[in-house]
Structures are given as structure tokens and as C-alpha cells.
Amino acid sequence: MTAGGTVERWGTFELTLDGPSEGNPYQDVAFGADFRHGHRVVRVDGFYDGDGAHRVRFMPDREGPWTYTTRSSAPALDGSEGGFICTPAGPGNHGPVRVAGPRTFRYADGTPYLPFGTTCYHWTHDEDDKAEEQTLRTLAASPFNKVRMCLLPTRDMNPPRLVFPGTVPGPPTPGRLDRTRFDPAFFDRFERRVRDLRDLGVEADVIILHPYDKGHWGVDDMSRDEDLFLVRHVVARLAAYRNVWWSVANEYDFNTAKTVEDWDRIGQYVQRSDPYQHLRSIHNGTRMYEYERIYDFRTAWTTHQSIQHWDARFARDWLERVPKPVVIDEIGYEGILGRRWGNLSGRVLLRQFWHGMTAGAYVGHGECFPEQDPDDWAWISRGGRLHGEIPSRIAFLRRLWEESAEDEFVYFGDRRHRHRDVTLPGDGGPWAVDLIDTWDMTVTPLPGGPHGGTLRVPLDHRPDLALRIRKAT
């Protein structure tokens, strides 16, 4: 969008100015703009995008006229003025997601948001349009409304481009990256896919740093200044997209080059740099079934708890300890890998979804079927197609929760009881009670209702059953 036009509320205004290209403008040229709506001023950083193009992006959150004035250390970029009109949000545009309470999220317009996320770490890195479009089609037909995706490569990858360009012509070479500048073509593809997710109504949970390079590319043990140089550029480029979340790091505790104080410093810098205050968190590693190092989410810069753990029933403890929403972004993956985190059966993983949701948390999906289709990669790595048994069952779970904001659920898990005695809530009844088969995706009203007091529920020795308790009408 250019100056003098219109931008919908929570859309993206972009201003591009020609400026200095000599030397290293990524480091040498400071550029940004102040956006005004009445007496309110929002200060936004810009970024250099190569070939003399200096850009600033802005997400207006109020309708009506906005004006801007650029600021820069380069005279050619300093003091430019203009404006645009912010119009009402269009269909499907609810604004960025915010924390609404100790267990809940809402969009900026007040619409409830329940995160049902999945993981596709490097689905944008191969520059394979066909595969990326397949991933988008799969997501459009899935229940998932959040995707975890990485900026930086792992040791075993050989992508045609990286965040940083190489120091020699051609594809990037291990150990020979120029960490003083960025590759605009890499970011052009990455942010285009972030916009595609936005148009699907899917949040992009952007993972900024991680420990999987192991010194190969030289991006997991950067200096403090290099870390913040990357963060500033990433926030300037992506923050104006309403569907962005920030994950400061994936499995932060596996990175031995940084301390917890380092991670706090980076998280605080993200908080200061983002004028829109998108959701922010950091994700722990775990040695599955042995130990985990969950971050101290009492820190002010984190907005929610992004947790890796193999047992969702601990969610009640995490919520009691820190009153911030819990998103178990990684609990294990449905698949057939030789690693125990990647070979869970569909039933086992679905049970964790139900344990987590009934405990007040949200659970993330992933799958690893790299041999299912010779043209596919494992979903968690490159996206593509879904082959597992549980996406449809997660869709069923999501429908139940979206229909039942005030209802109570009781989950019986893998136990094969003949019956269970359930004490119904004492206030607000009488109650209608439904028996849910979480695997076969059926909802059956219990006869004899409405109910009150203690109810004997026949389960007939079947596993994977739950109750929904709602006010009788």
C-alpha cells in the first residue's frame, strides 16, 4: 500500500523510499517512521531491503486518518511525510491474538481464539513452490490455526538461501556467512508465506533462534550484538503482519552457548522492539520421559507458556504456578520415526490432547511419516501432506470446544471402566450430559436427563471416552 491510499484495520501499510545503497546500509543506515492518529504516536523501525530500497511497515489498529513522518540517519530518507486512511477490518480479519486471561486468548476485536497448532519447521526453506502450495492446501483443509516455523537452518540442511548471505557467490557455504547483512530474497519468500497463512486465518509462530546448527552454519552461537541485529531486522520486517507470534528460541536449553540471562535479554529486546506487542514466549527442550527444563514464565516479557512435555496432565500444575495460558507446543509426534518423540500412535497422542484441554491447556500437533509418500518429507520438517489418524479427531475436538465455551468436560483416558460415578456441579443445573467417544467422534446424550447430583455413567469397558456437561435447556 502506498501513501494516500487506504488500509484496513490490522492490515499492513508499507512505505518504500530510495536511499543509500553503498557500504552496508543494514548496519550503517538507521531508518523508521512515527505514525500518528490524533494525539497518539507509534514509533516503528524500518529496514533495508537491498538495491537501495528502504522500507517501513505499519499495522494500524484504529480507524480513521493516520499520518507519518520518517526519521533516518540518511538525509535522503529523513523527514518524508504522508498519510493514509484506516478503514474497518474486512471479513475474517479479527486482528492479532492477545492473552485474555490466565487460561484464554482472544483476537483484538474480542473474538475468542483457541490455539490448535501444528509444526512445520522449515517448510519455506527449499524454495519449492509446489511443496509450499501443497502445505497451504493441507492447512486450509485441516483444523490447525497456528504453525510453528523456523528462520534459521539446522546442521543437516542445504538450502539455496539463508537469512544471511554467503561471503562468496552461489549458495551459502557452511562457516562462510556474512552475519553483517541479510538476504532479501530469503525474507521475501518467508514473509510471503506468512501472509499466505494470514489469509488462511493461521497464526505464524516464528521461531527466531534454535540449537540445531551445532556450529555448522555459525548461527547458533552468535554474539550478543549479532543476535540483537537479527532480532531487530526480523521484528521490523514481520511485526506489521497481524498473525505473527514470537518464539525467541526452540529448545533453548539445548543451546550451551547461551545462558538464561542471555535468553531473557533477547526476549526483552523483542518486547521493546515490537510496537504491537505480539505474543511472545520461549520453548524448552526435554529428554522424553526423563526430565525437562521448563522456562520460568514469571518473567514479564513472556505472554504465555510454550512448553515441551510428554504428559499434558501436568498443565494444572503449570497454570497454578504461573497464571499465563499454557500451550504445549510439543508433546510428541504421531509417526514412525526411530525416536521415541516421533513414533507415537494416533490414540496415544489424541489422549494427550484431551488430557491437556480438560486441564485448561492447549496442545500442539506434529507428525513424522517420512516414508509414507516418496514425494513427501516428514510434516514437521517440510510440510506437504498429512498422513496421520488424528487430524480429523483434532477437528472434532476443536468443534466441541468452540461450541462449548461454558461447558465442562470429564475425560476418562485409556481406562476401560465398566462405569464411573461422576458428581455433577452443585450450582447452575439441572444438566444435560453427553457421552463422547473421542476416537470414533460420536456424541450420545445420556438417557434420563436432565441430571443432577451423582450420576453413574456406563462405559462398557471402552477407552477414550469423555463426558460433556452442559446446562439443560
Q: Is the pLDDT of residue 231 over 90?
A: yes
From residue 450, alpha-carbon distances to 45, 419, 424, 435 in Å are 59, 19, 11, 14
| pTM, full prediction | 0.95
pLDDT tens, position by position, 277-324: 999 999 999 887 788 889 999 999 999 999 999 999 999 999 999 999
- Integer-rounded Cα radius of gyration of the chain: 24
Q: Is the pLDDT of residue 130 over 70?
A: yes
Band (372; pLDDT cuts 50, 70, 90): low
Q: What is the pLDDT of residue 339?
A: 84
Measure the CA–CA gap between 186 and 49, rounded to whole angstroms.
11
Section 163-191 average pLDDT: 93
Q: Is the pLDDT of residue 448 over 90?
A: no
Q: Is the pLDDT of residue 49 over 90?
A: yes
Determine which helix (DSSP H) or strand (DSSP E) holds 238, and give its type and residue range. Answer: helix 224-238
Q: What is the pLDDT of residue 376?
A: 52
Q: What is the pLDDT of residue 44?
A: 98
Q: What is the pLDDT of residue 3?
A: 52
Strands of 138-240, DSSP E = 146-150, 203-209
Of the two residues 378 and 136, the one the predictor is more confident about is: 136
Measure the CA–CA gap between 449 and 445, rounded to whole angstroms.
9
pLDDT tens, position by position, 10-22: 999 999 999 999 9
Q: Is the pLDDT of residue 405 over 80?
A: no
CB 71 within 8 A of CB 94: no
What does the block give as the cell for 388? 496421520
pLDDT tens, position by position, 70-108: 999 999 999 999 999 999 999 999 999 999 999 999 999
Band (341; pLDDT cuts 50, 70, 90): confident
Section 165-183 average pLDDT: 91
CA angle, 200 then 206 then 209, to 5°: 165
Q: Is the pLDDT of residue 254 over 70?
A: yes
Section 337-366 average pLDDT: 94
Measure the CA–CA gap between 220 and 217, rounded to whole angstroms.
8
What does the block give as the cell for 351? 489422549
Band (175; pLDDT cuts 50, 70, 90): confident
Measure the CA–CA gap between 362 and 356, rounded to whole angstroms.
6
With b for 16 or more beta-carbon neighbours within 10 A and e for fewer, the 338-357 pattern comes to eeebbebebbebbbbbbbbb
pLDDT tens, position by position, 201-212: 999 999 999 999
Band (4; pLDDT cuts 50, 70, 90): low
Q: What is the pLDDT of residue 427?
A: 78
DSSP states along 85-123: EEEPP-TT----EEE-SSS-EEETTS-EE---EEE-TTT
CATH 3.20.20.80 in the chain is located at 97-403
Tell me which residue has cell 497454578: 320
CATH superfamily of the domain spanning 97-403: Glycosidases (3.20.20.80)
Pairing outcome for strands 13-18 and 454-458: unpaired
Q: What are phi and psi of 14, to 5 degrees?
A: -130, 130
What does the block give as the cell for 48? 533495508
Strand partners, 308: 330
Q: What is the pLDDT of residue 378?
A: 87
Is the CATH number of domain 6-87 3.20.20.70? no
Tell me which residue has cell 438417557: 447
CATH 2.60.40.10 in the chain is located at 6-87
Band (226; pLDDT cuts 50, 70, 90): very high
